[in-house]
Chains A and B, each alone.
Chain A
C-alpha cells in the first residue's frame, strides 16, 4: 500500500484553493451520494477529496460512525487515493483478494468489501478525488453501474466548478483592496432620486471609510454621510438614468478623504460601486499644482526682471522700435510659457499658442482661427509662438492689420504625420516684398520647429505663408 498519493505539481494547491476541504456537508453533494445509493443499490456512497494525508468527504451517505461525524479518514483508509493516482476508475469486487487494496484499513474499520470509484476533476483539470459506491458484501459491478457513476461524477464536477467560481468571486470581494458597495435607489413620489440605501459592503469598504458593516447595511446615505449627498446623488442619478458606468471623484468632508467611485447600474433600480481612497494621489497632485504655480510665478517675475533690465539698459537708445520689438518678443515667450505651465509643461494646444501670440496686436476681432486640436510639445510651443508673433507684427506694420479693414485667416490641418498651417492676409494695402533681412524674418524662416519648411507668398491681394512640420517633431517633449 502506498503511503501517500503521488501529486502532480499544483494539485494540492488547487484543491486547497477550491474550498472543497473547508465546506463539509454541501447539501447538493449529500443528495448526489443519496442518489448513488439508490440507483446502484449500495449501502454507502461517498464523494471524497484526496488531500495530502487524508481524504475529506465533500458528501457522504451511509458511512458508519465515527467516520460519518468526522467527515474524513486518514489515507490508510482510502481506496479513492488509487483512483486519483491512476486517474482511472477503480473496480473492486472483493477487497480481501484485490492486490491493490487487500491491506487497506477501510476493510476492517469501514466494512468495505466491494468498491466502485470514478475520478472527479477540478475545473483546472487536476483530480480532486473520487465519487464512489461501496458495498459491505462481495459484488460484481456491471457496465451500467460504472456508466451511471460516471454520469453522476460529471454532475459533481459541474457542482464543484460552480462552487469554485463562486468562491473565487467571494474571495475577490472579501480580499480586494477596493471598497465595494451595492445600494438601492430611494425615490420621492415624483420619481426623483433622493437618497440611496446600502444593501451590502465588503471589508475594504469598512476599512476605507471607517464605517462598520452593521452601521452601513440598511442605512441611507443621508443618515450615514449627509455631506456626501449634494455631490453623490446627481452622479448616482446619471448612472441610473443613462445605464452608463461613471467614474466620479469626491472629497468627503466628514471623513476628510478623497474617494473615487466607479459606479455602475444593477438591475431593479440598484447600483454597485467600487470605492478607492485617492487621498494620497490628490495630495500629490495638489502639491504638484502648488509647485507649478510657484514655478510659474518665479518665471514670470524673472521675465519681468529681464524686461526691466532691458528697459533700463536700452533707455538711451534713440530708435525705440528695436526696444519695443524686444519687449514684445519677450512677452510672446512669456505667454507661451504660461500656456505650457497650465498643462504641467507637457504640452500646449496650437490654437491657444496662436491666440496668445496674437494678443499683443490687440486686433483679435480681425483674425479667424480654425483647425483641429493639435498639442505641441514645449519646444515647438515656444518656437511656434515666436513665429506667429513675427507674422502678426509684420501684418500690423505692413500687412492686412496695418489698415482699417484687412483681415488675417489662420487655418491648420493634419495629414498623417504632417501638419500644415496657412496664414492668409486679405483686404490689406498693396503688398510689397520686403527687402530687410532682420531677426524677425529669420524667425519666420525657421518655421514651426526650427527646420524651415516655410513658403512665403507676396501676392498683390495679400501676403500668405504656408508652414509645414511633422507632428512627431512638434510633439517632442
Chain B
C-alpha cells in the first residue's frame, strides 16, 4: 500500500449487500473519477471507516442485513466522521425525511447514474 503517498484519486466507500448492484455502483464511482472501496454491510463499512482515514464520500444502500441499516450508518457517520459526505439510495418509495441526516443526498432506486455522477463530482470538488 502506498502509505506515504497521498492517493491520486479521492476515495468513495460503496456500501451495498447485493453484489450486482454493488458492481454497478463501483463502476459508476470509478467512471466518475474516484477510487472505490466496497463494503457488504453497514457494520463492515464502520470497520473500514475506523481504519481508513482517506474516505471522503460514503455511497450507501438502506436495506442491508446486519446490526444496522444504511440510515443508521449515515447517522453514525454524521456523529463520528462529520466531514464525510453521504449519498443514500433505497428501493423504498420514500424514506422518512427525518431519518436522513443533514447534508445527505437521497436517490430512489433505480437511480439515474448521470445524476448520481453529478452529485459525486460536486461532493468531490471540495
**Chain A residues within CB distance 8 Å of chain B:** 293, 296-298, 300-301, 303-309, 311-312, 315, 324, 327-328, 330-331, 334, 338, 341-342, 360, 362
Contacts and interface: CB of A to CB of B under 8 A. Distances in A.
B5 interface: no
Contact of A330 (B108, B110, B114): B110
B110 A334 contact: yes
A303 B113 CA distance: 13
Nearest to B108: A300
Given A300-B109, A300-B110, A307 B92 contact: no
B23 interface: yes
A362 to B, nearest CB: 8
Contacts of B114: 324
Please indicate which of the listed interface residues B18, B92, B110, B113 has the most CB atoms of chain A within 10 Å of its own CB: B110
Given A315-B27, A338-B93, A303 B112 contact: no
Contacts, number: 61
Contact of A327 (B18, B23, B113): B113
Contacts of A324: 114
19 contacts: A293-B92, A300-B108, A304-B109, A304-B110, A305-B18, A307-B110, A308-B20, A308-B21, A308-B23, A311-B24, A311-B27, A311-B28, A311-B113, A312-B24, A327-B113, A331-B112, A334-B110, A342-B93, A362-B115
Contact of A304 (B27, B91, B93, B115): B91
5 tightest Cβ-Cβ pairs between the two chains A and B: A308-B24, A300-B91, A304-B109, A304-B110, A301-B91
Contacts of A315: 27
Interface residues of B, number: 19
A296 B91 CA distance: 8
Contacts of A341: 93
Nearest to A300: B91
Given A304-B91, A309-B20, A324-B114, 5 more contacts: A296-B91, A308-B23, A312-B23, A327-B112, A328-B112
Nearest to B23: A312
A293 B91 CA distance: 10
Interface string B51-95: 000000000000100000000000000000000000000011100
B74 to A, nearest CB: 19
B38 to A, nearest CB: 14
B114 to A, nearest CB: 7
Nearest to A334: B110
A406 B17 CA distance: 44
A291 to B, nearest CB: 13
Contacts of B115: 362
A338 B109 CA distance: 11
A298 B21 contact: no
Interface string B96-109: 00000000000011
Contacts of A362: 115
Given A308-B24, A311-B24, A312-B23, A301 B93 contact: no
A330 B21 CA distance: 15
Given A300-B109, A300-B110, A331-B112, A307 B24 contact: yes
